[in-house]
Structure 1
Amino acid sequence: MRPTVAEAFLALLKERGVDRFYIGAGTDTAPLVEAYARSAESGLAFPQPVISTHENVAVGMAHGYYMVTGRPQAVMLHVSVGAANAVCGLFNAARAQVPILFTPGRTPVFEGGHEGSRDSEIQWSQEMFDQAGMLRELVKWDYELRDGSNVHQLVDRALAIAMAHPRGPVCLTLPREALAAPLPESAPWPLPAPAQVAPAGPAPDPAAVAQLARALASAEFPAILCTGSGADPSTVAALASLSERFGIAVGDARSRYTCFPSSHPLFLGHDHVVVLKRADALLFLEADVPWVPKKGEPVAKLVAHAGTDPLFTRYPLRGHRTDLAITTTIAQLLPALSSALEDCGALRDADARRARALAWAGELRSAARARADADTQRGGAISKSFLTAAVTATLPADALVVNEYPVARERMPFDEPGRYFVHPTSAGLGWGFPAALGAQQAAPDRTVVAMLGDGAYLFANPAACHHASQLHGLPVLVIVFDNGGWEAVQNAATLVYPQGTAAAQVRAGGSAPLSNLAPLPDFARYAEASGGAGFRVSERAELEDVLRRAFRVVREEKRQALVHVTGRG
């Protein structure tokens, strides 16, 4: 017997390497429910369904799974209302260049006369004139399945576009009648080879690379600053090799990954504003917001940007100085740049350049140590810096860290790529906990830690996240830093009005209006309600012991745990 379109669709996902089908089921998913129910009878292989009780959790888990594996996953949510709840997660995926095959259901097209046509009152009120319009600005491609005869072409095209550089989410809307119908005789079965595949990533223009190499070679303090290059783990060792060979220092510009080894003697650290003040030739790698003009502009003679979309054309306003822009994957740029540096004679002065870079990096490391020592000596309530140092001291060697706000990066060094992940610059709150669950699913033998601010934790729909942790056997350790409010809101007010009344209230020990969230819930009980262990700590002397106990729960008992840390920002 030929399958239904729903069965063909699921089988096609599995055939194309989609391991997980993250789903918030609804009235529109009836054909998929039936497909899974009769999978033993049909003998067809489908992706593992991952039930989610909130749309943000589903999209965030798919995001996290891709971060670790590099393979895009599929998400299906309930018609217009589910798609609406998913927009924040898709915004994060779009800005982080994370490919997700988003396949929302659609209210049945017909009022009757077709398998799967309308049978519930909500199917009239939930319909929109243009359901995909709410997310069209965030996806690279969107379409609707009209008939099962070309379901294989549409899935292949969607996946190819999602994986084409710059990568990002795509949307294929699935009406219920189309899924419920038998696969037409005109559609190929068994499944054919892919109709389309993603193109190879762009290679850099040789003339532009030569211009960049000359600028770096002639500079006294050349520097490379990274934001998203570490999304490709292979670039980390290649960048370190280039740095060592030619004496070019490397730093982070609010990096979302490990882009360069923290212990490397040529590492400039994480305060890129100080780098802007000295570097006389600058190369930014996959940096969507390379600097904030109010905090400092680069003094370099040449400012270059490299990435798959170095102008970030989907950002309506982005006026950062760009003397040279190179469209390329970083993996292809680095060997080309190394060759160009060699060709222009950069090795002749490499020793002198390296000595200056080593001294510069040493100065910045000393400054970072001084800041850490000052925090330790200050004592008092647990700070972000102290929390980060305690987590680093207790972190298992295999652990992955997913950070949404509380990490003081200079106190959490990583040398290996693929172990540290940060929220996208869009900062759609609630990303970190779901992304950590997806990362745990992708790396079941690793310890995964989600470090969240209190606001980020609340926005993650914690009851749904803890439920997913228990339901799918994902023993993530969640560390929530609770400073009683939205620090970003308060900081924004004091930056805009440094002499204002809100700033005065903060200086006096209070909080700015609209930022205080107290009294906050006892977060530990969320984890306990879903079979996990909950801990609460407010004293510096107790922190490391509590963290070690929590790590034992997730590693030995294979249960989720949450550590609620109360402190100051």
Structure 2
Amino acid sequence: MSYTASAAFLEELQAAGIEQIFANLGHDYPPILEAYAEAEAAGRTLPRFVVSPHESVALSAAHGYTQVTGKPAAVFVHVDCGTENLGGAVHNASKGRIPVLIFAGGVPFTQEGELTGSRNEHIQYFQDTFHQSEIVRQYVRFEWELRTGVNIRQMTARALQFATSDPKGPVYLVGAREVMEEVVPRVELDRAAWQPVHPAALASDDVETIADALRTAHRPLIVTSYLGRNPDAVPKLVELAESLGIAVLESTPGQVNFPWTSPLHQGVQWSEQAENAALAEADVVLVLDSDVPWIPLVNRPAPTARILHVDVDPLKQDVPVFYIGAQLAARADAATALDQLNARVAASAPIDPEVRADRIAYWSERHDALLARLTAEAALPADGTMTPAFVLDQLRAHVDENTIIVNEGVSAYGLVGSHLRQSTPGGSFTQNGGSLGWNGGAAVGTKLAAPDKTVVAITGDGSFLFSVPSSVHWMARRYDTPFVQLVLDNGGWRSPKLSLEFTHPGGTAFQNAAELPITFEQPADYPAIAAAAGGAWGTTVTDATELAAALDEAFRVVRDERRCAVVAVRVQHL
């Protein structure tokens, strides 16, 4: 048994701390499979293979796993076709800053047996491409076609450095069969030499400028979206907000960034076509880890507001059009910056107690009014037609500190955040991107990462179908990752209608919305799909009086029977 590049590659993944390989393999993987089998026979520990029948589900599962653990995962796919089948999951991993290593085999580049691994199937001619990595180049932090096995451990370590250094994200390696079959010398790397780049800190002048601006403002506000990807940053934000009486607004939140239990919490905003009062009233706005702090066309700070921006990527280097008018923009890690700001505040003269009390009282009143509006919004309409707000309010009774929400509510994103009102860091995630169908695979990966937690995936009917549910529920049964899946079934795609309503409110298309190609007039039996693929329990709820019992049974099935439960709820038609 020779020591091959494939063996070195797998050993490097293990040494780098990768525990899971979400895999969809093809004819390019004989060297990997042989190396893996030899390692098992010899009793050597390697990362676990998790088989996924669809590549986009594999990457979504890796996405969910990494969000919970903070550790990179790996995804193995098949040449160009498997790479293409990753689809929008690559977009989500990129926008969500998910450190994942994607490895794709390459078509053999010899055809007469010149090297081990030479072509032996007709399909290898059809799948040959000039530049396979160009399929994902604009979405990854690093891409490389491995040219030899002698430095495969170094190149893998380098790729993972890119993946795990800010701004984090996916990386992509390609290895043809001949390269992966190459017999190579054993190499041991010094792990200390291949660590991610240390988090950046604020310059001392910026610390002073930001702290003083927050202290002297009349109505300071912090806007954040993904600060909570590091759960340790959340209490640091709470400390800063409470010490100075600063309000916090979550804009397009991808995680729990600030606890709803705090009276300083001013709610969440997504694409509401209305001005946010807290944002409009603020005279100093600190944007801290946010890709979309507001949408200027409909909602922006006052023209006189002073805007300060701290982010791991304040320029948004992968977004061509982005600017927020910040008078100060600094590249820094949020947790590190908050430590600096809290230290500066503690070392400075205390804020006037009356000023702090006035701020807290003002924002507390606004917080209480928000909760009252949400309570009214969750009431069941007189005609008994269930709304997403009503359904989510009912779900909240089952959500506790041991629950993780996987939120792909799409047009109901904001409703999920507002009506579940979670306060536990790491208790909720979205894909932080725009490609739908993430929720199912992410739920599987989340449960793998947190087997003792109750995982709830919230999706619309459209996103359920996007998610390749047959693969999702097959994986959930095979890998014992049961989760509750709540389908908000509004009969189609509501988001295009909302966009149409804003863009052409009096147009012909909106007046005839029932005839537009955005509805599912013959809805699928969503619970039955999950039952057929993975033995899930499920029910479709059409009567509000049946919802509570359905949710009770769903959570019982997941916890006691350890199988998935799908509750499809017919809400107001789009």
Output the TM-score relative to the length of structure 1: 0.95
Q: Quote the offset at 1:357 in angstroms.
A: 3.4
What is the alpha-carbon distance in structure 2 between the residues aligned to residue 467 and residue 264 of structure 1? Answer: 41
- After superposition, give the CA deviation of every residue in 1:331-352 in whole Å (9 maximum; x if it has no partner): 111121123335554x232542
Partner of 1:157: 158
Query: In structure 2, the residue corresponding to 1:270 is in which secondary structure?
Result: strand
Q: 2:260 matched to 1:278?
A: no
Q: Quote the offset at 1:361 in angstroms.
A: 3.5
- After superposition, give the CA deviation of every residue in 1:256-295 in whole Å (9 maximum; x if it has no partner): 1111111112111124822221111001111111111121
Partner of 1:413: 421
* Counterparts in 2 of 1:9 and 1:274: CA distance versus 1, 3 Å: same
What is the alpha-carbon distance in structure 1 between the residues aligned to residue 52 and residue 305 of structure 2? Answer: 51
What is the alpha-carbon distance in structure 1 between the residues aligned to residue 85 and residue 364 of structure 2? Answer: 45
Partner of 1:44: 44
Query: In structure 1, the residue corresponding to 2:137 is in which secondary structure?
Result: coil
* Counterparts in 2 of 1:350 and 1:498: CA distance versus 1, 3 Å: farther
Match of 2:556 among 533, 552, 555: 552
- After superposition, give the CA deviation of every residue in 1:75-110 in whole Å (9 maximum; x if it has no partner): 110000110111411111111111110111111111
> For residues 112-123 of structure 1, what are the structure 2 equivalents within 5 Å?
112=112, 113-123=114-124
What is the alpha-carbon distance in structure 2 between the residues aligned to residue 350 and residue 217 of structure 1? Answer: 12
Q: 2:213 matched to 1:212?
A: no
Q: Quote the offset at 1:433 in angstroms.
A: 1.2
Q: 2:546 matched to 1:542?
A: yes
Contact 1:286-1:307 within 8 A present in 2 as well: yes
Contact 2:267-2:370 within 8 A present in 1 as well: no
Q: 2:28 matched to 1:28?
A: yes
Q: 2:268 matched to 1:260?
A: no
What is the alpha-carbon distance in structure 2 between the residues aligned to residue 53 and residue 542 of structure 1? Answer: 35
What is the alpha-carbon distance in structure 2 between the residues aligned to residue 566 and residue 40 of structure 1? Answer: 49
What is the alpha-carbon distance in structure 1 between the residues aligned to residue 505 and residue 321 of structure 2? Answer: 26
Contact 1:390-1:544 within 8 A present in 2 as well: yes
Partner of 2:479: 472
What is the alpha-carbon distance in structure 2 between the residues aligned to residue 174 and residue 458 of structure 1? Answer: 33
Q: Quote the offset at 1:358 in angstroms.
A: 2.9
- After superposition, give the CA deviation of every residue in 1:444-494 in whole Å (9 maximum; x if it has no partner): 111111001111111111111111111211111111111001011111111
- After superposition, give the CA deviation of every residue in 1:298-327 in whole Å (9 maximum; x if it has no partner): 115211111111121111111322211111
Contact 1:447-1:476 within 8 A present in 2 as well: yes
What is the alpha-carbon distance in structure 1 between the residues aligned to residue 71 and residue 485 of structure 2? Answer: 25
Q: What is the aligned length?
A: 560
Query: In structure 2, the residue corresponding to 1:50 is in which secondary structure?
Result: strand
- After superposition, give the CA deviation of every residue in 1:506-558 in whole Å (9 maximum; x if it has no partner): 5xxxx361211221210011121121111111222211110110001110111
Letter in 2 for 1:559: R
What is the alpha-carbon distance in structure 2 between the residues aligned to residue 210 and residue 35 of structure 1? Answer: 55
Letter in 1 for 2:423: D
Contact 2:92-2:434 within 8 A present in 1 as well: yes
Contact 1:223-1:250 within 8 A present in 2 as well: yes
What is the alpha-carbon distance in structure 1 between the residues aligned to residue 68 and residue 317 of structure 2? Answer: 26
What is the alpha-carbon distance in structure 2 between the residues aligned to residue 328 and residue 512 of structure 1? Answer: 49
Contact 2:23-2:75 within 8 A present in 1 as well: yes
Query: In structure 2, the residue corresponding to 1:75 is in which secondary structure?
Result: strand
What is the alpha-carbon distance in structure 1 between the residues aligned to residue 351 and residue 7 of structure 2? Answer: 63
Contact 1:221-1:353 within 8 A present in 2 as well: no
Contact 1:20-1:48 within 8 A present in 2 as well: yes
Partner of 2:394: 390
Unaligned runs of at least 5 residues, structure 2? 271-275
> For residues 187-336 of structure 1, what are the structure 2 equivalents within 5 Å?
187-188=186-187, 193=191, 195-271=193-269, 273-299=276-302, 300-336=304-340
What is the alpha-carbon distance in structure 2 between the residues aligned to residue 218 and residue 195 of structure 1? Answer: 44
Query: In structure 2, the residue corresponding to 1:536 is in which secondary structure?
Result: strand
What is the alpha-carbon distance in structure 2 between the residues aligned to residue 20 and residue 335 of structure 1? Answer: 33
Contact 1:116-1:177 within 8 A present in 2 as well: yes
Higher mean displacement: 293-302 or 51-60: 293-302
Partner of 1:66: 66
Contact 1:490-1:512 within 8 A present in 2 as well: no
> For residues 299-378 of structure 1, what are the structure 2 equivalents within 5 Å?
299=302, 300-342=304-346, 345=349, 347-378=350-381
Contact 1:156-1:194 within 8 A present in 2 as well: no
Higher mean displacement: 152-161 or 272-281: 272-281
Match of 2:521 among 518, 522, 528: 518
Partner of 1:3: 3
* Counterparts in 2 of 1:343 and 1:102: CA distance versus 1, 3 Å: same
Q: Quote the offset at 1:191 in angstroms.
A: 6.0
Query: In structure 2, the residue corresponding to 1:101 is in which secondary structure?
Result: strand
Partner of 2:83: 83
Match of 1:493 among 485, 488, 500: 500
Query: In structure 2, the residue corresponding to 1:225 is in which secondary structure?
Result: strand
Contact 1:246-1:354 within 8 A present in 2 as well: no
Q: Quote the offset at 1:194 in angstroms.
A: 5.8
Contact 1:226-1:284 within 8 A present in 2 as well: yes
What is the alpha-carbon distance in structure 1 between the residues aligned to residue 36 and residue 291 of structure 2? Answer: 41
Contact 2:115-2:178 within 8 A present in 1 as well: yes
Partner of 2:170: 169
Q: Quote the offset at 1:360 in angstroms.
A: 2.6
Query: In structure 2, the residue corresponding to 1:204 is in which secondary structure?
Result: coil
Letter in 1 for 2:524: P
Unaligned runs of at least 5 residues, structure 1? none
What is the alpha-carbon distance in structure 1 between the residues aligned to residue 377 and residue 526 of structure 2? Answer: 30
Letter in 2 for 1:414: Q
Query: In structure 2, the residue corresponding to 1:212 is in which secondary structure?
Result: helix
> Cα RMSD over matched residues?
1.7
What is the alpha-carbon distance in structure 1 between the residues aligned to residue 314 and residue 357 of structure 2? Answer: 28
Q: Quote the offset at 1:179 in angstroms.
A: 1.2
Letter in 2 for 1:197: Q
Q: 2:431 matched to 1:428?
A: no
Q: Quote the offset at 1:170 in angstroms.
A: 0.7
- After superposition, give the CA deviation of every residue in 1:355-385 in whole Å (9 maximum; x if it has no partner): 2333233224313422431441524222111
Higher mean displacement: 379-388 or 227-236: 379-388
Higher mean displacement: 466-475 or 406-415: 406-415
Q: Quote the offset at 1:195 in angstroms.
A: 4.7
Partner of 2:273: none
Output the TM-score relative to the length of structure 2: 0.94
Contact 1:440-1:474 within 8 A present in 2 as well: yes
What is the alpha-carbon distance in structure 2 between the residues aligned to residue 357 and residue 515 of structure 1? Answer: 45
Query: In structure 2, the residue corresponding to 1:103 is in which secondary structure?
Result: strand
Q: Percent identity?
A: 32
Letter in 1 for 2:148: D
